[in-house]
Structure 1
Amino acid sequence: MKLPPIVSAQEWEAARQELRVKEKEVTRAHDALAGQRRRMPRTEVEKAYRFEGPDGPVSLVELFEGRRQLIVYRFFFEPGVTGWPERGCPGCSLMADQVAHLAHLNARDTTYARVSRAPQPDIERLKARMGWDVPWYTLTDGFDADFGVDQWHGTNAFLREGERVFRTYFVNHRGDEALGSTWSYLDLTALGRQEDWEDSPEGYPQTRAYEWWRRHDEYVSDSDPWEGTLDERVAALRAHARASAEDT
């Protein structure tokens, strides 16, 4: 293996700074692309899709769990997949391992869920074996074919307005493989990270960066009731931030 040359610390730092310029260009381009994604048109989901959950049948609207946004990953776990019924698709399993704690997405009014054709008992057994604690539903109709994930993995993003559901974005292949962090998922959504530095259309929900961040077990507690609508949670977070500032 032909490795790069060995240089002094000063030369190494100069090379790092040169590369950092290009890295910042990529970061800014990524931010601009996410801003363009937030301006994408949306298409209404008109079919009444049904899924099987651990507690019985649920609709697509119910997958949102009351939140405004929904991210759905198609996990290949079903008869015909290598390792069935003890193992899921190796690639899907790798990507499942890299998903961040869902409390942070939930705090931005966003729900993450997986769907497969495996029955619920098999899904529950695989979740227990792999240590995954995420909402996971069984496909019962043509949802996967209608949304581009019947032959390959992929991630769809949806936005809810009352009982109406809109598809806002879709990514698969290498773009899908790059997902997993809280930020990568929020950048995929119609509302984005919902922070005030973002280039978003007028009227989009936004708070200051850092203001809403919490340890994953601190978003909801007896002393900090973050439950409610997004606007109610934002107001609560701001009040908490003011109180914390007064204490310091």
Structure 2
Amino acid sequence: MPTTKHPLPQVVSPEEWEAALNRLLIKEKEHTRARDALSAERRKLPMVKMEKPYVFQGDEGSVSFRDLFAGQRQLIVYHFMFAPDWKAGCDGCSWVADAMTHPAHLHARDTSLVMVSRAPLEKINQYKTRMGWTIPWYSSYGSDFNEDVGATTEEGERHGASVFLRDGNDIYRTYFTGARGVEYLGSHWTYLDLTPFGRQETWEDSPEGWPQTKPYVWNRRHDEYDG
């Protein structure tokens, strides 16, 4: 049976392991409560009204910004990096999309989740079919939406998530996160964080000799891994 070539943490008795685990769980509970407090602060953020009548392209044709809510009061938009001249969508954004939940769970709490990209709808649907996704995905091609919300800048495409609240016909933007903030949406990172090797990236504080590579060089689209 194969064994790891990397040095292992200290091997202890079941009693010592449980004691060490319980000490860690106390810290994890403190982290959970701190995250809850941060979420409460997020819910109290001021909002900004969205004034422009954006039009998007979806499988049902041209739709309004309000249509993206699909009858719900809250909307989460994942800004998927996919420029009009790209052959495929962003591999990192594809990680996030792979982890997205069944919409019924969000709809039960008056919330919709969609993805929006600048690529034309034809390209989006080709890539969506390749990846096997059923997530609602709209094209903002030809509109100012991406630029207005900071998802496209002079430097290029930017991934992230925006949250919107609908009050009658009025729509308000309540939150945005980008960069590593989107890890909160992707359970793959969460799962890896539970393992001894972690994400296996050089920025992590891991035992000497643990397997590590530079960030962003190892992950692939799910149909591109060798073997």
Does TM, normalized by the shorter one, top 0.5?
yes
Distance in 2, matches of 1:149 and 1:13, equals: 46
Distance in 2, matches of 1:52 and 1:100, equals: 23
How far did 1:147 drift? 0.9
Distance in 2, matches of 1:126 and 1:74, equals: 15
Instruction: Return the TM-score normalized by structure 1.
Output: 0.68
Once the two structures are superposed, residues 178-224 of structure 1 have per-residue CA deviations (whole angstroms, 9 ceiling, x without a partner) of: 2146xx9xxxxxxxxxxxxxxxxxxxxxxxxxxxxxxxxxxxxxxxx
Look up the match of 1:144: 146
Distance in 1, matches of 2:137 and 2:84, equals: 17
Instruction: Return the TM-score normalized by structure 2.
Output: 0.75
2:49 maps to 1:48 = no
How far did 1:33 drift? 0.8
The answer for unaligned runs of 5 or more in structure 1 is: 185-248
Cα RMSD, aligned residues only: 1.6
Distance in 2, matches of 1:161 and 1:45, equals: 12
Aligned residues: 178
Look up the match of 1:208: none
The one of 72, 77, 83 equivalent to 1:78 is 83
> Where do residues 12-161 of structure 1 align in structure 2 (5 Å cutoff)?
12-81=17-86, 84=87, 87-139=88-140, 140-150=142-152, 151-161=157-167
Distance in 2, matches of 1:180 and 1:113, equals: 15
Distance in 1, matches of 2:57 and 2:167, equals: 23
Is the contact made by 2:95 and 2:186 (CA closer than 8 Å) also made in structure 1? no
Is the contact made by 1:100 and 1:180 (CA closer than 8 Å) also made in structure 2? no
Distance in 1, matches of 2:144 and 2:122, equals: 21
**Moved >4 Å (runs of 4+):** none
Look up the match of 2:172: 166
Look up the match of 1:236: none
Distance in 2, matches of 1:180 and 1:110, equals: 18
Distance in 1, matches of 2:177 and 2:183, equals: 9
How far did 1:169 drift? 0.4
How far did 1:177 drift? 2.3
With 102-111 and 119-128 compared, the bigger mean Cα shift is at 119-128
Structure 2 SS opposite 1:20? helix
> Where do residues 217-236 of structure 1 align in structure 2 (5 Å cutoff)?
none
Is the contact made by 2:160 and 2:177 (CA closer than 8 Å) also made in structure 1? yes
Is the contact made by 1:148 and 1:154 (CA closer than 8 Å) also made in structure 2? no
The answer for unaligned runs of 5 or more in structure 2 is: 1-5, 191-227
Structure 2 SS opposite 1:178? helix
The letter for the 2-side match of 1:126 is Y
Distance in 2, matches of 1:53 and 1:79, equals: 15
Structure 1 SS opposite 2:185? coil
How far did 1:149 drift? 1.1
How far did 1:80 drift? 4.1
Distance 1:49 1:129, change over 3 A: same
